[in-house]
Amino acid sequence: MNIIRKHMTVIAMIFTQLVYAGMYLLSKAAMSSGMKPSVFITYRQALATLTLAPFAYFIDRNGSTPLKFYVFCKIIFVSLVGVTLSLNLNYIALNYISPTFNTAAINAIPSLVFIIAVFSRLETLAIREKHGWAKIIGTILGLSGATIITFYKGPHLYSGHANNLIAKDYTKQEWIKGSILLLCSLITWALWLVMQVSVLTEYPAKFWLMTLQNGISCIATAIYGAIVEHSIQSWKLRLDRNLFSVVYSGIFVSGFNFTVLSWVLEKIGPVYTAIFNPLQLVFTVILSAVFFHDSFYWGSVLGAATMVIGLYAFLWGKYKEAQRTAQLSTRRPI
């Protein structure tokens, strides 16, 4: 038991990556069986809102910062851009790409966040420092890996069964279309990460904030879904795989994973959590091959490996930058 307590953060982070891998596979299965992205997201975000609301009430009610009108307007904007748009683009992209590709591309997010942060002057390049070059090289490798995965499939590493629910040989046009949609989704998600920092400084009640954002995203997607999906049958849920996928994504991903990640972030920090991101790809490859017999390509291996190397180069640069900042602050005279 002492060993488990000692390594609780490691166990927690490994489990969260496994949960995320399951989400992408189940979501892909739901999309492939005919469930519309807007319907899936509406129900997922509704469940996420209901899951987080009790945490928000009991944890954030004491000492919660009053919600000012302009802050609420900012939360609405961030919710529409970073949550609603990002999720809808991501789930639409799943119609044209494999869940393994989707998971691999996520490793490019730190690079996209860094580029946005540099343009918004929240980050500096620091080209005269080693840590600055590490971040630049990591960013280049991350984007290069994403480019390789998008435009180079290569031969099959593992070929799935053609009659499987998610196993499919995608055409080049589908692959590129899905890649562009996914890239737009990742850019909007990176924008959300940058904007979220600003929102949290003005409204630090994390659980209330996420409850509001999920609720706003649910309402916005429901309105969009009502416009594009006129058939009532599309909105009906049955006791099948689709219902399980919605419940899994809404409760375990948006509810459980957010709680665990918040705990680890507060306990150790964001760099530590990012180190475990490549495990999500490993779990997705294994689970998709074992349970769904999904195809996997050498191009995805090459691109994913390039992104993972870039991710760790970037994280090393961030770690060294934090070390240098801490050293400089301790040397300052009081």
Rg (Cα) of the chain, in Å, rounded? Answer: 20
Q: What are phi and psi of 52, to 5 degrees?
A: -85, -25
The runs of H, that is alpha helices, within 106-240 are 109-119, 130-151, 172-202, 206-228
Question: Is 205 part of any domain?
Answer: yes
**Is 145 exposed, middle or buried, given 0-12, 13-18 or 19+ CB atoms closer than 10 A?**
buried
Question: Is 74 part of any domain?
Answer: yes
Q: What are phi and psi of 231, to 5 degrees?
A: -75, 125
Question: Is 90 part of any domain?
Answer: yes
Please state, in angstroms and rounded to a whole number, the distance separating the CA atoms of residues 300 and 297. 5
Total domains in the fold of the chain: 1
Question: Is 294 part of any domain?
Answer: no
Question: Is 62 part of any domain?
Answer: yes
Structure tokens at 148: 């390789």
Are 51 and 255 in contact by the 8 Å Cβ rule? The answer is yes
DSSP state letters, 49-74: HHHHHHHHHHHHSTTPPP--HHHHHH
User: Tens of pLDDT along the chain (334 residues)?
Assistant: 566 666 787 888 888 889 988 888 888 888 888 889 999 999 999 999 998 898 888 887 776 678 889 999 999 999 998 889 999 999 999 888 878 778 878 877 877 888 888 887 777 777 778 888 888 888 888 788 877 876 777 777 666 554 455 555 667 788 889 889 999 999 998 888 888 878 888 888 888 988 999 999 999 999 999 998 878 888 888 888 889 999 999 888 877 777 787 777 667 666 566 677 777 877 887 787 777 766 667 777 788 788 788 878 887 887 787 777 777 666 555 5
CB-based contacts of 14, cutoff 8 Å, min separation 6: 276, 279
pLDDT of residue 166: 55
Domain that holds residue 68: 2-121+169-285
Are 246 and 237 in contact by the 8 Å Cβ rule? The answer is yes
Question: Is 199 part of any domain?
Answer: yes
Question: Is 163 part of any domain?
Answer: no
Question: Is 160 part of any domain?
Answer: no
